[in-house]
Amino acid sequence: MKSYPFRYDPKLQMMVTKYATPFAIFVVTLGIFTSHPQQTVKLATLALLGLAVVINVGIPLVVRRVRDDKVKAGLAQAKMGSNIFINTFLVYFLGDLWAPIWLILALTPIATAIYGTRLDTIGAAAGSTGILFLAQVLRGPNTFSAWSQQVVYAAFMFLFSLLINELSHSPSPSPQEQA
């Protein structure tokens, strides 16, 4: 298996933000308003969602103005770390009320797959899977059926992020090869 060099590219970051942020907002908003959580959970998840929107819209705007690539990469890492932190709590709060919430954990390895190495992608998938499994342990139920679902979610995160990583780092075929 081939390892690819890290490709930090603000255009790729903007592309990921363009699609991942609205998807996350959609999933979380539907989760909040269709699962009818307790008022404190509803307010906490709305606050976390608002913070995530500010971070995911604000950091790319700052990155556009920064000239130093190390600072840009650091801001991208801060954005990813913030998303992981926020998504962990969103999954914990809504996971037993809204099954599709696990999808927001899949966004980190998928985004990493686009501009990170294969090893970065595996690490992001492992981290997201660890969060998913920890939330399941803490929330329960700890039944075979519940754990089977978590294993399927984990397999999706690993396999699809690795597919995306390989596709995004594969050279495009030349026009002659396509014919």
pLDDT means per 10 residues, the chain with 179 residues, are: 52 84 96 95 96 91 84 84 95 93 95 91 96 93 95 98 93 67
Range of the domain at 87: 10-167
pLDDT score of 1: 45
Domain count, the chain: 1
Does residue 58 belong to any structural domain of this protein?
Answer: yes
pLDDT per position as a tens digit, 77-104: 888 899 999 999 999 999 989 999 999 9
CB atoms closer than 10 angstroms to residue 9: 13
Full 3-state SS string of 3-72: CCCCCCCHHHHHHHHHHHHHHHHHHHHHHHHHHCCCHHHHHHHHHHHHHHHHHHHHHHHHHHHCCCHHHH
pTM for this prediction: 0.84
pLDDT score of 8: 60
pLDDT score of 3: 43
CA distance 179 to 173: 10
CB atoms closer than 10 angstroms to residue 42: 16
Does residue 3 belong to any structural domain of this protein?
Answer: no
Nearest to residue 63, comparing CAs of 47, 80, 48? 80
pLDDT score of 178: 62
